[in-house]
Structure 1
């Protein structure tokens, strides 16, 4: 080293200078990235890209997705972030068939609606029209013409009162698979039992029972049927004990259905 001449550390260690440049470049790239992300976010929020494009509905069973969307009053002319999700959920829950509703925005432009409905325990038949009965006992307005009962039995001959109330309480205790196996329940009171009923099952069997012990007896229905010949239809009597009486012929079966 020449006398009186100072050599900088950057000249002595070239790698340190390169390192400083790299740090400066990375800082610049980071700042530019944040800037462009910020600009993209502003453009997204201000442009139609954030407007509601699709509305997804989950959990609905009796209502169509279109009906749920109409209840929510969610429109497609606003940003998903400006949708009042709480109000939309409240709009849906105003319908007495809806147990709960949750509305959430989904990036980039969707709204998700998750609902839970009260189960329809049965349908009350009246002159060819059907009024759904909810699990909480509420009897709804009759279905629109052409709309058919689903996922629950049709009740024939019943009116609002203690017989209907007891039947619904017993049905509610039954497993869903047994509830769904029942096609029709006819109110057929006798002199000795004002709660006597006749049920027609989806598998072709007929069940004579009483609402008083419906759960207690019907809980064994799958086991009883498994021991019968599926080709031989008839009446399963569950009023007192439990026994099966086959139809003598097809005409007898048709006659029984015609009487109820």
Structure 2
């Protein structure tokens, strides 16, 4: 009796294997195990783990296959609901475990309010107020009133080198007749920088190159060009301008008085001449 071809054996084996896989998968799908999911979170520092899992929008009735093939939908849910989350990724581990890997937005600065300090993230978003005890040992404080300016400033700071941003202590607005968006940056090395908000991301990096040549308490002016001065020099200049203005006003007043006196004398002379002429005519 001839033996069956080897090819038939392989075909029969493949049918049995595929059928077994389908059977096991079917049994798994109708069992409670198909809905049992274990989710752990990694990468979060400020966001709460239980809240992140809830914000994914995963239901108890969702199958494991739903998470496998629709992971991007749940990741989008989380990013749209949680202010801290910059990136989210669901990673599957056999048999029913998932790891939610998140990357949070970086805190760029804080804004002080009556209720505490408000963290401002790198995308300009503000999150819940924290107490002074919750603040890091070193941070940047922003004292700007306009929300639009705060968001623009934070987004520009996020583009700068982190060490440069960390060297800033306080950022405030400056009154300037020529530059409406001029800022004053109080640095942690006791120097100060004046720079327009619109140009802070292009001009401020120069500070790292020149700070080693500055004397303590220097003021670096980047409003127009770049030069350094000190508070004493600026006070002396301001005093000189005030003195010059006062002297100019006094001189102008004296000139006016002199002109007035000369005019009076001229009028008196003309009057005397008129009287003399009138007498002669008589």
- Give yes or no for the alignment of 1:27 onto 2:14: no
Of stretches 236-245 and 89-98 in structure 1, the one that deviates more from structure 2 is 236-245
Contact 1:119 1:135 in 2 (8 A): yes
Q: CA deviation at 1:208?
A: 0.4
2:219 pairs, out of 237, 242, 249, with 237
Tell me the equivalent position of 2:172. 187
Query: Can you list the C-alpha shifts for 1:189-214, whole angstroms capped at 9, x where unaligned?
Result: 4688884424334xxx2330124153
Query: How many equivalent residue pairs?
Result: 219
Tell me the equivalent position of 2:81. 94
Q: CA deviation at 1:37?
A: 1.6
Counterpart Cα distance in 2 of 1:48 and 1:144? 46
Q: CA deviation at 1:63?
A: 2.7
Counterpart Cα distance in 2 of 1:96 and 1:109? 28
Q: CA deviation at 1:49?
A: 4.1
Tell me the equivalent position of 1:121. 108
- Give yes or no for the alignment of 1:109 onto 2:93: no
DSSP 3-state at the match of 1:178: helix
Query: Can you list the C-alpha shifts for 1:42-75, whole angstroms capped at 9, x where unaligned?
Result: 23323344421234556x5643544422322435
TM-score when scaled to structure 1?
A: 0.60
Q: CA deviation at 1:187?
A: 2.4
DSSP 3-state at the match of 2:191: strand
Runs of at least 5 residues in structure 1 that lack an aligned partner in the other structure: 1-9, 11-16, 246-260
DSSP 3-state at the match of 2:120: strand
- Give yes or no for the alignment of 1:175 onto 2:161: yes
Change (3 A) 1:164 1:78: closer
- CA-atom RMSD, angstroms? 4.2
DSSP 3-state at the match of 1:122: strand
Runs of at least 5 residues in structure 2 that lack an aligned partner in the other structure: 231-282
TM-score when scaled to structure 2?
A: 0.57
- Give yes or no for the alignment of 1:72 onto 2:59: no
DSSP 3-state at the match of 1:206: coil
Counterpart Cα distance in 2 of 1:114 and 1:68? 10
After TM superposition, the structure 1 = structure 2 runs for residues 49-88 of structure 1, keeping only pairs within 5 Å, are 49-50=33-34, 51-57=36-42, 62-74=46-58, 79-83=63-67, 85=71, 88=74
- Give yes or no for the alignment of 1:37 onto 2:31: no
Counterpart Cα distance in 2 of 1:30 and 1:47? 26
Greater relative contact order, per chain length (Cα 8 Å cut-off, separation 6+)? 1
Higher helix share: 2
Q: CA deviation at 1:117?
A: 5.0
Counterpart Cα distance in 2 of 1:23 and 1:242? 87
Higher CA-based Rg: 2
Tell me the equivalent position of 1:249. none
Tell me the equivalent position of 1:46. 30
Contact 1:186 1:197 in 2 (8 A): yes
